[in-house]
Amino acid sequence: MFEASEIKRLIEETLPDCTAIVHDDANDGEHFSARVTSSAFVGQALPAQHRLVYGALGERMGREIHALALRTYTPDRWPGT
């Protein structure tokens, strides 16, 4: 079972100027959603932004983390909490 706080930590430690809000939607430690902002997303298309987040999680995606619904934002588009 994986924790939302661990996903948040991994993303925020990897991406510059990052804020991540992660929820365990099914409360099962496997299916999560996240809203992520980072300066790394500036000038990147949405698929590239998502690849950056998945890269931060590495091999955990598809193993410990079965699903991650993502919403990514550049800092100037961040809706906050």
- φ and ψ of 75, to 5 deg: -55, -35
Specify the amino acid at residue 7: I
Reported as a single tens digit per residue, the pLDDT across 38-80 is: 999 999 999 999 999 999 999 999 888 999 999 999 999 988 6
Q: Which helix (H) or strand (E) holds 10?
A: helix 4-14
pLDDT of residue 27: 94
Residue 19 clears pLDDT 90, i.e. is over it: yes
User: Token pair for residue 28?
Assistant: 């099962």
Name the CA radius of gyration of the chain, rounded: 12
The full set of domains in the chain, from first to last, is 4-76 (3.30.300.90)
